[in-house]
Amino acid sequence: MSLDFSPSEEPLTSFSLAGMTDVVLLLLIFFLLTSSFIPQMGIEVNLPQVDTSAPVDEQYVTVVLTRDGTYYVNGSPTPRARLIEAIRSAQGAPQQALVLRADQGATIGQFSTVASAAQALNLRVLVATEQENRP
């Protein structure tokens, strides 16, 4: 009597990817849904409320002025003494304007510092606002 250890069936040559496709689809849905809940990291300011507002292009130098008087040029903290230099280095060739995102608690003196820096560089000053929510 001899023992036969050879497999009687042929090895599986094809593999169904249906289960893996379901897992990938579920992961994709999970990441798409959770990505909208991730907060955008940025500089938090309370913009003034107005009746109308215009969209802002990416072709402007952005200066953010916080309530405590900190200046940010295109997202980088900048001391007041170096404001003109920072705006000049952030300014590209087609940029002819500066968008000021000033907190409602910022002072007129801080606003005038940014406006005079923009005037020294021949830039128009646009003030960013949020549209008022009317009932």
Rg (alpha carbons) of the chain, rounded to whole number: 29
Q: How far is it, in rounded angstroms, from Cα 3 to Cα 10? A: 19
The answer to whether 123 touches 88, Cβ cutoff 8 Å, is no
- pLDDT tier at 34 (50, 70, 90 boundaries)? confident
Per-residue pLDDT tens over the stretch 77-90: 889 899 989 888 88
pLDDT surpasses 80 at 23: yes
Strand pairing report for 61-65 and 97-102 = parallel
Q: Which has the closest alpha carbon to 120: 83, 78, 80, 73?
A: 83
Q: What pLDDT does residue 74 have?
A: 86
**What is the mean pLDDT of the segment spanning 116-125?**
87
Q: What pLDDT does residue 134 have?
A: 55
Q: What pLDDT does residue 133 have?
A: 67
Q: Go through the domains of the chain in sequence order and give each one's CATH number.
A: 49-131 (3.30.420)
The H-or-E segment that residue 101 falls in is: strand 97-102
| Angle, helix 108-120 to helix 83-90, in steps of 10 degrees | 50
Q: Which has the closest alpha carbon to 69: 89, 51, 86, 83?
A: 83
**What is the mean pLDDT of the segment spanning 113-121?**
89
